[in-house]
Structure 1
């Protein structure tokens, strides 16, 4: 489909999805959410790693408050259930790694869209802001799920109640995100990170995602069973055989992925 609110590119196993409404700091409207969902599904078939990033000076400023139909009273619940939820679940269940390359401010639903990814890499100038209470709302778009898990309960509560920005470097120290990178190196760095994953063992990455995400609701016995099951599946892949052979031959492996 032709895209208007996002950009989509695939090269050497890497799909880059760019939120592309820089005039409104990439605020999310219905069109962007529809295009983003389609692009995520497409990239899951076409690529071995997906990167989400933003055009211009922001990653995403959250819900477009000028999108009247979406913010009018009872419309909020419908939009969250029908438009946000499928996008967030597509990221969560994606069979390949998803990186959020947070180039600037990530606010409201935009912050939680970023945090839904498997790995978050931010420019040092980026900030994360749970802005919801500033307009009489509570965090949504998965914020109440991700924040306590990634930042801890006390920090999640403070972010949600006070609606104060959290710097990229503080987000790293809190465990919210993977790393913060100097702005001058940012794009080169996240592209190198994504390229590394694009050349890796795709099935193993998918198993890592599944096992870690499922661990929140599993007992130790259940998790040990799941590890054994997934490891058994990986043990018969060509990439495992190649990894072992490369190790024995003291060379870099050449994974096929998928």
Structure 2
């Protein structure tokens, strides 16, 4: 792996996005590496939790070239599959069979916000920025964005962020239910690891608990996988429209 760092300790797999020059914006290759890291953790029975982080900048979304290629010809096989690869990165993190925690510092934008919302729990910096960013660059949200927002923080927050493009900091994210706790920047990763280590003490139990947790807390409306496909035509249209 070249842009994802992966390490395991105390039953916790740490997956770190490591492309600071572009604020961890997801390229196709980085998305593949992120998917591979999540699957590696899921296949390791000694792993009882995953922490996803990005250092000073959590994730600035998808790299613009992926969106631009899709915009030129949304139905072209390569462009379609490349955007799908970006989706697969956060849907894999969201479905891997162990509890997941996002440690969010800096900005979580667009697909990066989807990645944070895909995890089971978020520990954030007080100054972290949660912003959709889709409408701001003239495209429809993708990746099941509305469903992710609504299932974590409810319809009102999903409307304010996803529809109206509002932005919230870490403390406001906690107040809205988008995150569990906010800390100073230097404490975020360690606090996320503390939470993860707690459940990872018994990996087999952690896996059984998270499976039922997700079954029992599924929100109403369409399922996430359906939402991903539901949003895709509108997003492809908006990309082509640009």
TM range (shorter): 0.7 to 0.9
Give the gaps of 5 or more residues in structure 1: 220-258
Residue 36 (str. 1) matches residue 44 (str. 2): no
Higher relative contact order (CA 8 A, sep 6+): 2
| Per-residue Cα deviation, 1:78-111 (whole angstroms, up to 9, x for no partner) | 434x313433332232221111111221001101
Deviation at 1:151, TM superposition (A): 1.7
Residue correspondence of structure 1 range 94-113 to structure 2 within 5 A: 94-113=96-115
Residue 212 of structure 2 corresponds to 211
Residue correspondence of structure 1 range 12-161 to structure 2 within 5 A: 12-46=10-44, 47-55=47-55, 57-67=56-66, 68-69=68-69, 72-74=72-74, 77-80=80-83, 82-161=84-163
Residue 7 of structure 1 corresponds to 5
Paired residue secondary structure (1:10): strand
| Per-residue Cα deviation, 1:62-81 (whole angstroms, up to 9, x for no partner) | 0111445455441664434x
Relative to structure 1, the CA distance from residue 210 to residue 188 in structure 2 (aligned partners, 3 Å threshold; closer, same or farther) is closer
Residue 237 of structure 2 corresponds to none
| Per-residue Cα deviation, 1:90-138 (whole angstroms, up to 9, x for no partner) | 2232221111111221001101111100111111111110110011212
Report if the CA contact (8 A) 1:131-1:164 is conserved.
no
Residue 184 of structure 1 corresponds to 186
**Count of residue pairs brought into register by the alignment:** 214
| Per-residue Cα deviation, 1:145-168 (whole angstroms, up to 9, x for no partner) | 111111211221121233232111
Distance 1:4 1:121 in 2: 25
Distance 1:13 1:113 in 2: 22
Relative to structure 1, the CA distance from residue 23 to residue 149 in structure 2 (aligned partners, 3 Å threshold; closer, same or farther) is same
Paired residue secondary structure (1:7): strand
RMSD over aligned Cα, in angstroms?
A: 2.2
Distance 1:156 1:77 in 2: 26
**Higher mean C-alpha displacement, 15-24 vs 91-100:** 91-100
Relative to structure 1, the CA distance from residue 155 to residue 218 in structure 2 (aligned partners, 3 Å threshold; closer, same or farther) is closer
Relative to structure 1, the CA distance from residue 8 to residue 216 in structure 2 (aligned partners, 3 Å threshold; closer, same or farther) is closer
Paired residue secondary structure (2:64): coil
